[in-house]
């Protein structure tokens, strides 16, 4: 390769590099500023293909989409000086690319740090104006709207960004307060449990007493009915026996004697000492030939 060819190749490479560095593209989801020796000459470059002067102009491109700042949980005091642990986040995007670059050098980390401090200050101010009930439920939506408006004004003026929304994710009591609240709730629940158990025992005693009373009444009525039935049965049996034996008194006497013999001689070990002429053997004497 001769010198002319080498020079031509070098020139071609230089021209290609210059041409490559003369064009840049800004996407629809990006914001950009054009610099000339570090000074902003075009504050808001529109999306598309653009031309710049190599090594004279520089392009700083930023993410123009909706970004999220997730703040750390912070401790705030309400109007009645009650502590709350609040976890919130903010949605923001670049609105003024020139101001954003001048205030943060185009670094999202710097923007998040400054916006986080502003967010904490706004939340502290809004929680300090409200009671615990208002902060947790009563005016929570109004609180977030006020924080969004306040933070947006400050961020737009200082950082060139637009705060679209601020949301409070969680509101909790501090850990030491949670412990005391839990202990107080536990004590109250134990007291209520004791009251319910006492009422239950009282009700159970009443039910058992009523059941015992009803049992005694039922047993007394059943015994009375049984005695009445038994008395009626005995009366009817006596009447039947009287009518039956009244028809033949001699047979009735003989039958009673047989019963007396059966009961007297039921056990072989029984011994009776009687006069042979006793009425007890009257029917036995008659049975002799």
Neighbours of 127 (CB within 10 A): 25
**CA–CA distance, 91 with 70 (Å, rounded to integer):** 9
Tell me if 251 sits within 8 A of 283, measured CB to CB. Answer: no
- The confidence score (pLDDT) of residue 119 equals 92
**CA–CA distance, 270 with 249 (Å, rounded to integer):** 30
* Ordered per-residue pLDDT tens for the chain, 289 residues: 566 666 666 666 665 666 667 788 888 888 888 888 878 888 888 888 888 888 788 888 888 899 999 988 888 888 888 888 899 999 999 998 889 988 988 888 999 999 999 999 999 999 888 888 888 877 888 889 999 999 999 999 999 999 999 999 888 877 776 666 677 778 888 888 989 999 999 999 989 999 999 999 999 999 989 988 988 888 888 788 777 777 767 677 777 777 776 766 666 666 666 566 566 666 555 554 4
Map out the domains of the chain with their CATH numbers: 3-63 (no CATH), 67-172 (3.30.479.30), 251-286 (no CATH)
Half-sphere exposure of 97 (CA within 13 A, CB side): 23
- The confidence score (pLDDT) of residue 280 equals 61
**CA dihedral sign, ordered 96, 100, 106, 111:** negative
pTM score, two decimals? 0.56
């Amino acid at each position: 390769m001769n010198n002319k060819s080498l020079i031509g190749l070098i020139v071609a490479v230089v021209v290609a590099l210059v041409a490559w560095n003369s064009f840049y593209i800004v996407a629809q989801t990006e914001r950009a500023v054009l610099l000339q020796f570090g000074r902003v000459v075009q504050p808001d470059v529109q999306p598309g293909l653009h031309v710049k002067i190599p090594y004279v102009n520089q392009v700083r491109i930023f993410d123009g989409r909706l970004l999220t700042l997730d703040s750390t949980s912070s401790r705030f005091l309400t109007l009645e000086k009650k502590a709350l642990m609040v976890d919130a986040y903010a949605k923001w995007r670049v609105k003024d690319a020139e101001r954003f670059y001048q205030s943060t050098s185009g670094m999202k980390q710097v923007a998040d740090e400054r916006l986080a401090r502003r967010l904490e200050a706004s939340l502290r101010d809004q929680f300090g104006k409200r009671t615990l009930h208002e902060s947790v439920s009563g005016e929570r939506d109004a609180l977030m709207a006020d924080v969004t408006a306040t933070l947006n004004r400050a961020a737009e003026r200082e950082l060139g960004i637009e705060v679209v929304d601020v949301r409070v994710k969680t509101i909790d009591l501090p850990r030491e307060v949670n412990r005391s609240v839990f202990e107080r709730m536990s004590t109250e629940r134990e007291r209520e449990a004791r009251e319910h158990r006492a009422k239950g025992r009282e009700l159970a005693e009443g039910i058992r007493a009523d059941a015992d009373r009803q049992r005694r009444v039922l047993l007394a009525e059943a015994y009375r009915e049984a005695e009445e039935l038994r008395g009626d049965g005995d009366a009817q049996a006596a009447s039947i026996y009287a009518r039956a034996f009244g028809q033949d008194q001699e047979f009735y006497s003989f039958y009673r004697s047989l019963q007396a013999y059966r009961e007297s001689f039921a056990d072989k070990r029984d011994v009776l000492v009687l006069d042979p002429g006793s009425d007890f053997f009257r029917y036995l004497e008659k049975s002799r030939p």
